[in-house]
Amino acid sequence: MSIRSDFHCFQGIHSLTSCSKHDHSSRRLLFRTSAAVYMNNHPNLHNPRSEPSIKQEIVVTPQAVVHVSPQENIIYSEVNNGNKVNYNSFGKVIASKAMSFMKKNGTAFSPDGYFLNYNEGSNNNILCHYCQNGKLIEACRLIDIMARYGQIPDFECCANLIRGLVNAERVEKACKVLKVMVMSGGIPDIITYNKLIGGYCKRGQLASAINLVEDMSFTGCPPDVITFNTLFRCMFNEGRYEEAIWFWRSHLRKGYPPYLISYTVLLELVCKHCGVSRAMEVLGDMSLEGCHPDIVSYNSLLNVICKEGKFEDAMIVMQALLQYGLEPNAITYNTLLHCLCSQGKWVEADHVLSVMKQASYRPSVVTYNILINNLCKHQLLDQAIDILENMVSEGCCPDIITYNTLLGAMCKENMTEEALDVIQYMRENDISLVLISYNILIDGFSRNGEIEKAMVVFDEMIGDGITPDDITYGSLVVGFCKKDMVKEAMQMLKEMFRINCRIRGSTYTVLIQALCRNQQLDSAIEVLDMMVSSCAKPSKAIYESLVKGIADSGLLDGAATLQKKLVEYKILGETS
């Protein structure tokens, strides 16, 4: 159907001629103007609802907004008090004519169908709405339109939009929004800049990140610790070690603060990737630039070196520390002790301990825990107990970590009676046992086949108000299976299933093997059903290993039954 309607707008001395439109927009139309709008629907206009032809004059003041709502099929005016006046039931026709008028009038068109006539406030309201509702692309388009018409976008919305775009991995669009924000007079905060720099670094666009850092100061927002740390890590990940050192030196010469945290991160990275000798060179060079290390910087270097087990390099750092006039602290000594003990260098560790005492740094509980833990790892339990006795005699109280370390070592050495003595000592001295303490004991007793003692500890655990976890239940299932108490193991597994407790694959496997060993194939199939149903993505390798393990133990019937069931589940093939 062809519809013709005249749509005139008079603004000052300007006038638009009448226009015709055959395509009717289904979008909502909103426009503001101080002009008089004259609508003349011709007498020959066909009204599908048999309404009389309408000739209506609408005068829109600056306080009124004219809405064309095709969904409601009406055009109405909404004034300040919110009252709506229905002008015409042919909203789609009006919308079509108004669209043509707005385009000819050079009015902005926003992504969701809004037409705005150079109204910055309305645009920013829509921009905030987009940002609040996560419409990132629409917000970007609106900002582009505002920029073309010389409008200033809301800076807070711009900052939030940039962060959202980076999270959505739309870094290029985020950078465009940043440029519009800066050109409009806005000053992005350091969080926004760091977010964008991190986005570039994550994508490997290091050059763009560096350019952005160089531009930051010109906008009144200089880079901070996080900025430099992000760039350093990205540079070293790409193997640009010397460039990172030069970058830091150049910024120091420009007058940027010598951030010790960034300097320490740089030293750690140089030491890790280029060696301790190069790190010492950088340390000396940066001192000439006014960036002086402190004890934290040296301790960080020691930590990196000691983790790699390079005790000789650690001594180089210690020597440099002393030459610089700094005094080692407790963290320095503990770091060295950990390095020495992990390598079994007990003589050197005793020497460090002696130096530590002479330097008025009494060994703390952390120091003793390092010694006890490493002695237990090297199966030197007697010496670990001697250290515990010395610790108590010197007035240093053991903590729960100390006791748990000793309990674990005792259970591994089948010293269950001694472990119970430690528990008794803890109770007598009002040292509360935690979940890990109970799990260590229960697991130790269960693996040693002492399921009765494990259940006694389990009951004490419940009595102390501590809730068992998957490790607790799994250890008990293993203990029951070791004693071929498959009925009790099945009950424990069903209890785990009932309370929706996480069940490890090894727990299922041990129980299925025990059931097959006791010729209870129906129960084994039941456990297998539970295992398959609890796994979101059953691993073929796990089930093949299970069947093979049962077959290798001589239980061929059980292995065949399980394989047949797994073929039915389409986990294994016929030829597996």
Highest mean pLDDT among 39-43, 219-223, 534-538: 219-223
In whole angstroms, what separates CA 104 from the centre of its chain?
Answer: 49
Instruction: Please tell me the predicted confidence (pLDDT) of residue 407.
Output: 93
Closest C-alpha to 77, from 60, 94, 89, 90: 60
Q: Residue 27 and residue 130: Cα distance in Å, rounded?
A: 17
**Number of DSSP helices (H) and strands (E) in the chain, helices first:** 27, 10
Instruction: Please tell me the predicted confidence (pLDDT) of residue 118.
Output: 56
Residues 107-137 pLDDT 10s:
544 444 444 445 888 889 999 999 999 999 9
The larger pLDDT score, comparing residue 269 to residue 427, is at 269
Q: Residue 513 and residue 529: Cα distance in Å, rounded?
A: 14
CB-based contact 305:271 (threshold 8 Å): yes
When the pLDDT of each residue in the chain is averaged and rounded to a whole number, the result is 79
Highest mean pLDDT among 71-75, 183-187, 521-525: 183-187
Question: For residue 375, is pLDDT > 60?
Answer: yes
Residues 318-341 pLDDT 10s:
999 988 888 999 999 999 999 999
In whole angstroms, what separates CA 89 from the centre of its chain?
Answer: 53
Q: Residue 398 and residue 526: Cα distance in Å, rounded?
A: 47
pLDDT > 90 in the chain, percent? 42
Question: For residue 545, is pLDDT > 90?
Answer: no
Q: Residue 154 and residue 152: Cα distance in Å, rounded?
A: 7
Report if pTM > 0.95. Answer: no
Q: Residue 209 and residue 240: Cα distance in Å, rounded?
A: 14
Highest mean pLDDT among 59-68, 197-206, 422-431, 536-545: 197-206
CB-based contact 524:561 (threshold 8 Å): yes
Whole-number Cα distances in Å, 114 to 9, 60, 93, 119, 138: 19, 18, 17, 12, 12
The larger pLDDT score, comparing residue 451 to residue 555, is at 451
Residues 291-309 pLDDT 10s:
888 999 999 999 999 988 8
Q: Is 90 exposed, middle or buried (0-12, 13-18, 19+ CB in 10 A)?
A: buried
Q: Is 58 exposed, middle or buried (0-12, 13-18, 19+ CB in 10 A)?
A: middle
